[in-house]
A and B are shown apart, each in its own frame.
Chain A
């Protein structure tokens, strides 16, 4: 990843932007993967935590003197707060974890498709609340003026931290116990595993990381709107996890880069390219369609994703699973 950053630096501002975006998505995809890869439950709802994280960071850092104008409903201590951006990011991610803890306590009792759909419902509920909670989220209009502190190296730092958190979790006994529930629920219970508790632990950690991804997203664009954190983002982030390999952390990272690269290429094509004086452009919307087609192809021909169940270690060897 650092290598890709260096290439991006050499490649000029356009590539730098793409690399930054890829790493922001890496944070989100890794966050989703902490839960999905180990529990085997497909989450349609993790964008909720990006949403919560992004707005919580905005509450603490947004818009200088205009905060009270955009978000008059904030409590006084938030209106006055001059929280440093990184501390704000931490607090915001923790808030995402709290939302996960409360909602997960109920949702983690469910299994399989029921859990996936309940997670989607969570996104619907939280998005609707934020969209109508005008006094603290500016409702359906956008917030502008978030501090733009996210450059490529910040994103790189966050992505690295996300990967380390995921690796530590995966290597822990919690990760192992949750993978047992993924392989066989009945056998996991017979082995003394409290499925609800293991899922909840992973859910809270994964919400923390996904929340941090949302924070980065807001401070990279500088503006926030609730409807950004919706089905498009859900689809793109899920596509990343699935394309890379649903049961692998490496897969999430590879997927984030592959999908971002692909999207940007297609977006560039939508804008049009000059070939010997002839401008060729794809119809708009081609990006989403192409991504969906690729996702279908991968699900059909390589359902385990690009990297399968393999993990890359720092030493380049295959993971020693003992």
Chain B
């Protein structure tokens, strides 16, 4: 069974300790919600796991092997895929090309990459707009292209950084359906950063809560939800 772990990850930005000895695990088949108030270090942790941010201390392991020195592109090829809070599509390329680019990483031919990309786009419900320029899409569709682009890497671990930000309720519901199917359809574990608590409660099996760079709670949804520290961080402290 494949597993991704962070061991005692700390990140120091000059005076600020953005992450302080965080242990997190992500196991095959699960959807893990990463929660925390603004500035808790959620995106920093995703940056560390995906290779964009080198930790000051600690290691990231995939199946027990350290992947600390790998670049983001090498990690992407090894099955750790991510999306961005700001989406970051290739705006002047077509929607299909956006996804084809990441599909090329494992494809033996251009045609194979293209059909992988088409399947990923159909999965997120964007088959009909494949030929449009990515920069012309409405906001919610952009986010779905971002997910398709990550899926085309055939990831074992998928890190979604606020995929529902700025979506309407109905768009959110569509997204919940997409995320819920990911472990089954693509065989990947999902790490979901999300502020929308309702969405998180609905799709996640387990929650990991950060506050001020430290782990506040980690466990099944029900347990974490009733944890007084978590309630304080979200309602009292904020």
Within 8 A of B (CB), among A161-204: 173, 176-177, 179-180, 183-184, 186-195
Measured in the bound complex, the distance between the Cα atoms of B133 and A309 in whole Å is 12
Q: Are B72 and A189 in contact, CB atoms less than 8 angstroms apart? A: yes
Q: A176-B97, A183-B93, A322-B94 are in contact. Are A192 and B102 (CB under 8 A)?
A: yes
Q: Which of B73, B91, B114 contacts A194 (CB 8 A)?
A: B73
- Check A321 for interface membership: any CB of B closer than 8 A: yes
Q: Are A186 and B90 in contact, CB atoms less than 8 angstroms apart? A: no
Q: Are B113 and A173 in contact, CB atoms less than 8 angstroms apart? A: yes
Q: A186-B84, A190-B84 are in contact. Are A322 and B101 (CB under 8 A)?
A: no
Q: Are A190 and B72 in contact, CB atoms less than 8 angstroms apart? A: yes
The proximity string for B residues 9-26 relative to A, scoring 1 for CB distances below 8 Å and 0 otherwise, is 000000000000000000
Q: Are A191 and B101 in contact, CB atoms less than 8 angstroms apart? A: yes
Within 8 A of B (CB), among A227-254: 247
Give every chain A residue within 8 A of B100 (Cβ-Cβ).
176
Measured in the bound complex, the distance between the Cα atoms of B67 and A84 in whole Å is 54
Q: Are B101 and A177 in contact, CB atoms less than 8 angstroms apart? A: yes
Q: Are B102 and A189 in contact, CB atoms less than 8 angstroms apart? A: no
Closest A residue, CB atoms, query B87:
A187
Closest B residue, CB atoms, query A189:
B72
Cβ of A278 to closest chain B Cβ, rounded Å: 51
Q: Are B102 and A184 in contact, CB atoms less than 8 angstroms apart? A: no
Measured in the bound complex, the distance between the Cα atoms of B150 and A321 in whole Å is 21
Q: Are A179 and B82 in contact, CB atoms less than 8 angstroms apart? A: no
Q: Are B97 and A173 in contact, CB atoms less than 8 angstroms apart? A: no
Q: Are B93 and A192 in contact, CB atoms less than 8 angstroms apart? A: no
Q: A184-B88, A186-B84 are in contact. Are A192 and B76 (CB under 8 A)?
A: yes
The A interface is mostly helix, strand or loop, or mixed, namely helix
Q: Are B104 and A176 in contact, CB atoms less than 8 angstroms apart? A: yes
Q: Are A322 and B96 in contact, CB atoms less than 8 angstroms apart? A: yes
Cβ of A222 to closest chain B Cβ, rounded Å: 43
Measured in the bound complex, the distance between the Cα atoms of B93 and A184 in whole Å is 11
Q: Are A191 and B110 in contact, CB atoms less than 8 angstroms apart? A: no
- Check B173 for interface membership: any CB of A closer than 8 A: no
- Check B62 for interface membership: any CB of A closer than 8 A: no
Give every chain B residue within 8 A of A191 (Cβ-Cβ).
73, 76, 101-102, 105, 149, 153
Measured in the bound complex, the distance between the Cα atoms of B91 and A179 in whole Å is 10
Closest B residue, CB atoms, query A309:
B92
Q: Are B84 and A322 in contact, CB atoms less than 8 angstroms apart? A: no
Q: A187-B89, A192-B76 are in contact. Are A173 and B110 (CB under 8 A)?
A: yes
Give every chain B residue within 8 A of A180 (Cβ-Cβ).
90, 93, 101
Measured in the bound complex, the distance between the Cα atoms of B132 and A321 in whole Å is 9
Q: Are A190 and B76 in contact, CB atoms less than 8 angstroms apart? A: yes
Q: Are B104 and A322 in contact, CB atoms less than 8 angstroms apart? A: no
Within 8 A of B (CB), among A57-111: none
- Check B180 for interface membership: any CB of A closer than 8 A: no
Q: Which of B52, B73, B92, B131 contacts A322 (CB 8 A)?
A: B131
Q: A173-B110, A176-B104, A184-B88 are in contact. Are A190 and B81 (CB under 8 A)?
A: yes
Within 8 A of A (CB), among B111-127: 113-114
Q: Could you list 12 further interchain pairs (A-B, Cβ under 8 angstroms) beyond the known A179-B97, A191-B101, A247-B92?
A: A173-B113, A176-B101, A177-B101, A179-B92, A184-B89, A190-B76, A190-B88, A191-B102, A192-B104, A192-B153, A321-B93, A321-B133
What are 10 residue pairs bridging A and B, where the CB atoms are less than 8 Å apart in the complex? A179-B90, A189-B71, A189-B76, A190-B52, A190-B72, A190-B84, A191-B101, A192-B153, A321-B131, A322-B96
- Hey, which bits of chain B sit against chain A, CB under 8 A? 50, 52, 71-73, 76-77, 81-82, 84, 88-94, 96-97, 100-102, 104-105, 110, 113-114, 130-131, 133, 149-150, 153
- Hey, which bits of chain A sit against chain B, CB under 8 A? 173, 176-177, 179-180, 183-184, 186-195, 247, 309, 321-322
Q: Which 8 A-B pairs have the closest CB atoms?
A: A183-B90, A192-B105, A191-B102, A192-B76, A187-B88, A189-B72, A180-B101, A321-B94
